Structure 1
Amino acid sequence: MLMAHPAVLLDLMEEYTSLKILDAENGSPAVQRRLDDVAYTLCVATGTRDIDMALIAARHRLSGARTADDSLAGESLPDDSLAGA
């Protein structure tokens, strides 16, 4: 299964949360449509069928995500690689 990038999941979760607040306050058809779209996208991105499970899956995926690329952390160039530079 394809997995959404953590940044995408985070953006979707934040948008969903904001739209839920707007829907509770405003309840306009436009907000409801966008809320439905984001909920559907979260479900697709997490491989789930309902928004509650999608949010759980996204949180689980994000809990194991790195916040920065530390793939080169702790690596240094050998001392002899600087000779001749």
Structure 2
Amino acid sequence: MLMAHPAVLTGLVDRYWALAVLDAAAEDDSPVRRELEDAERALCVVTGTADVHAALFSARHRLPGARVLDDSALGTVE
């Protein structure tokens, strides 16, 4: 599978979060909502996922600084 360059992933993730904040304050069917949906689709395409949450998770683990043995998706054992 092709992998997106880390700079592309960082830019898409930053764009997604910025638009998500703006969308929270916007009305339905706003231009911000359409841009947010575009950012979601782009994230899904570059990460090979079908869901924005999975795309964000995947992008997080592909970005520089992600730990090789990062188990943050696993529950804690007590």
Q: TM-score range by the shorter chain?
A: 0.7 to 0.9
Give the structure 1 partner of residue 61 of structure 2: 60
Give the structure 2 partner of residue 39 of structure 1: 40
Q: Secondary structure at the match of 1:2?
A: coil
Bigger-Rg structure (1/2): 1
Structure 2: 5+ residue runs without aligned partners? 68-78
Which residue identity does 2:6 align to in structure 1? P
Alignment partners' CA distance in 1, 2:7 and 2:62:
11
Q: Secondary structure at the match of 1:60?
A: helix
Moved more, 27-36 or 41-50: 27-36
Give the structure 2 partner of residue 49 of structure 1: 50
Q: Secondary structure at the match of 1:58?
A: helix
Alignment partners' CA distance in 1, 2:20 and 2:30:
13
Residue 26 of structure 1 and its aligned partner are, at CA, apart by 1.7
User: What is the aligned length?
Assistant: 64
When the two structures are superposed, what TM-score results if normalisation uses the length of structure 2?
0.77
When the two structures are superposed, what TM-score results if normalisation uses the length of structure 1?
0.71
* Identity over aligned pairs, percent: 52
Q: Secondary structure at the match of 1:48?
A: coil
